[in-house]
Structure 1
Amino acid sequence: MKIDEVLERAHVVALPMAVKFRGVTTREALLIDGPQGWGEFAPFLEYGAEESANWLAAGLEAAFTGFPEKNRDRVAVNGTIPAVPAGKVPEIMDRYPGCTTFKIKVAEPGQTLADDISRVNAVREAVLATGRTPVLRVDANGGWSVEEAIAAAKVLMPLDYIEQPCATVEELKEVRMQLMRSGLFVRVAADESIRRAKDPYRVAELQAADVAVIKPAPLGGVRRVLELTQDLRDRHMDVTIASALDTAVGISMGLHAVAALPQITDDDELDVPPAAAGLATGSLFIEDVCAPRTITDGFLAVDNLTPDPDRLAALAATPARRDFWFDRVRECWQYL
């Protein structure tokens, strides 16, 4: 495989977001029509070439190598609630039929803890109204101090976990220790501290988190995710596989990662399914390169969607942005 072949197979698209997410209103991605399927290269714009090279490796794996064998044909998913007013929560939840696990964005700049409480309670009450038990995760994207994280956990619980409450691994460890000392059963999950770290195992070595949020694109692809997941499980960490604001093409990578996870059992020899994955993010886009995936009773089928040619044309980025993404590929190539 040579870089010229990759670029010849590439399509650059710009997808409008339904709701501002991570500060993004238009999601750009370079899609690769490879011999084994479609791959995606879409590192966030602030990422440098060395860090972005993992994203390129993941896209090349999907396009030129293909995915490992599946151990399951469908994947349980969580809904994602952006940092919207509580009154908008029901309409967003309607996009996730059958889901009882939800990830809720908190610690949004310009908002208050009271806003977070209202949003989380709106999700909790909506699930309870269906007669089912809510499983709620809150994601602060490193936006809290240790003290703010502890205070938030106390008023937001019960929670499955708080994801990346603080920016540093040391702060995550302190939050986890304080929660344990206080007798508060709220797990701590690490996302950026693994996804953007030179050493993704440091979180486990410092016992700074209970859960690792693993995203295939930033870590280099499905096979790398499977390797890392096994290593983290051996270190007594649970794993949630999630999207990095992927297009429909990138979501296929995440689905195949969950599908390829080995089946594990508990002490009673009962099967333990993978944690609900953060892969039902397609509704965050107004338009995507494929028809929307259907969530059925909280599950997505494991598939390989092929982008629609008309959608690719309609969503094509400007020539200037196409050149920008081609240059990013060239910059990252040296780090593969």
Structure 2
Amino acid sequence: MRTLIDFDDAPVIAVPTAAGPRHAVLVEGPQGWGEFSPPPGADDALAARWLTAAMEPSTVGWPDAVRGRVPVDDGTRRPTVAAGDVEAAVARIADLRAEDIEFVLLECRDPAAARSVRRRADVPIAVDAALLLADPQCADLAVLRCGPSGGVRRAMRRAEKLGLPVVVQFTGTTSIGLAADVALAAALPQLLFACGPVPGWLAEADVVSEARSLIPRDAHLPAAPMPAAPDPVRLQRFAVTDAETVEHWRGLLRRAAAIL
């Protein structure tokens, strides 16, 4: 299906955020649009998973939704704690006990460290689903992210394999990418937790029309069968014109496509 997408002319965009510009490449296929926005420093293998996620809505489409809208959380009751130092992480979680927290998002690459923190913490611990595949006992909740998982279908298969409660964390840069996160949450058989958070910059820096921008209403976002197309005026506003930056992102896109 990648032969049906023109990677060489795919628009590269940059949206302003408090942490600096966020880049993405918008890919158009026979069914619509997708967003390719791996994090800075992503290698070709990780970029290939993000490209699979971007191609899914623009080619085969997403699985059918089982709910028409999904609840959204602002993240204030879900503090993130780094687990590079287990003792420091446990102490930080203990300090949070006085707050009304739902669970702790543990940033960790070592399943053994996550398991150690979980054993000593008295609040639910959530880690990336990939870490739980290495050790299903290292956390209470699995965090699903559409982009790095390789799309909605792959994320759903991962959740099914784990058999744990899941929470969907948004990874989209624009409403085109965010629509995939919402599609994942809308298609899961069970959705016990609200999703999110919605990027703070989206209200001022989106590439779709204002009417189609995924801004929460009543703490929910609507699920759609496909992302909205970019608005030409907004697309031009955020288009990257620097030739070196454009070539960097299109080069990463081409290398990712070569892996698929």
Deviation at 1:334, TM superposition (A): 2.7
Deviation at 1:257, TM superposition (A): 0.8
Change (3 A) 1:309 1:57: same
Q: TM-score, normalised by structure 2?
A: 0.89
Q: Given residue 230 of structure 2, which amino acid in structure 1 is its aligned partner?
A: P
Pick aligned residue for 1:323 from 230, 234, 247? 247
SS at match of 1:148: helix
Deviation at 1:293, TM superposition (A): 2.5
- Decide whether the 8 Å contact of 1:71 with 1:262 is kept in 2: yes
SS at match of 2:21: strand
Paired with 2:231 and 2:172, the residues of 1 have a C-alpha distance of: 19
Change (3 A) 1:37 1:5: closer
SS at match of 1:249: helix
Q: Given residue 70 of structure 1, which amino acid in structure 2 is its aligned partner?
A: A
Instruction: Answer yes or no: is 1:202 the counterpart of 2:134.
Output: yes
Deviation at 1:286, TM superposition (A): 3.9
- Decide whether the 8 Å contact of 2:168 with 2:181 is kept in 1: yes
Instruction: Answer yes or no: is 1:253 the counterpart of 2:180.
Output: yes
Deviation at 1:163, TM superposition (A): 0.9
SS at match of 1:277: coil
Counterpart in 2 of 1:267? none
Counterpart in 2 of 1:275? 193
Paired with 1:168 and 1:75, the residues of 2 have a C-alpha distance of: 31
Paired with 2:165 and 2:157, the residues of 1 have a C-alpha distance of: 14
Deviation at 1:301, TM superposition (A): 1.1
Counterpart in 2 of 1:126? none
Instruction: Map 1:166-205 to 2 at 5 A.
Output: 166-179=108-121, 184=122, 186-191=123-128, 194=130, 201-204=133-136
Pick aligned residue for 2:94 from 150, 154, 178? 154
SS at match of 2:11: strand
* Gap regions ≥5 residues in structure 2: none
SS at match of 1:334: helix
Deviation at 1:202, TM superposition (A): 0.9
Change (3 A) 1:149 1:219: same
- Decide whether the 8 Å contact of 1:16 with 1:285 is kept in 2: no
Deviation at 1:246, TM superposition (A): 2.6
Rg larger for = 1
Change (3 A) 1:323 1:10: same
Paired with 1:279 and 1:252, the residues of 2 have a C-alpha distance of: 13
- Decide whether the 8 Å contact of 1:9 with 1:33 is kept in 2: no
Instruction: Map 1:134-153 to 2 at 5 A.
Output: 136-140=77-81, 142=82, 144-153=84-93
Pick aligned residue for 1:297 from 198, 201, 218? 218
SS at match of 1:66: coil
* Gap regions ≥5 residues in structure 1: 80-101, 104-135, 264-272
Deviation at 1:4, TM superposition (A): 7.7
Paired with 2:215 and 2:2, the residues of 1 have a C-alpha distance of: 36
Paired with 1:4 and 1:261, the residues of 2 have a C-alpha distance of: 29
Q: Deviations over 1:166-198 (max 9, x none)?
A: 44221110001112xxxx2x011112x72xx6x
Paired with 2:64 and 2:51, the residues of 1 have a C-alpha distance of: 22
Counterpart in 1 of 2:151? 221
Counterpart in 2 of 1:13? 13
Q: TM-score, normalised by structure 1?
A: 0.70
Paired with 1:143 and 1:173, the residues of 2 have a C-alpha distance of: 10
Paired with 1:257 and 1:165, the residues of 2 have a C-alpha distance of: 22
SS at match of 1:137: coil
Paired with 1:143 and 1:208, the residues of 2 have a C-alpha distance of: 12
SS at match of 2:63: coil
Q: Given residue 295 of structure 1, which amino acid in structure 2 is its aligned partner?
A: P
Q: Deviations over 1:251-299 (max 9, x none)?
A: 0001111111124xxxxxxxxx431011522546741112232322211
Q: Deviations over 1:70-93 (max 9, x none)?
A: 1111100111xxxxxxxxxxxxxx
Counterpart in 1 of 2:142? 212
Q: CA RMSD in A?
A: 2.0
Pick aligned residue for 1:40 from 35, 41, 62? 35
Q: Given residue 50 of structure 1, which amino acid in structure 2 is its aligned partner?
A: A
Aligned residues between the structures:
252
Deviation at 1:146, TM superposition (A): 1.1
Change (3 A) 1:73 1:154: same
Change (3 A) 1:274 1:8: farther
Paired with 2:110 and 2:192, the residues of 1 have a C-alpha distance of: 27
- Decide whether the 8 Å contact of 2:83 with 2:114 is kept in 1: no
Pick aligned residue for 1:30 from 10, 17, 25? 25
Paired with 1:331 and 1:51, the residues of 2 have a C-alpha distance of: 11
Counterpart in 2 of 1:106? none
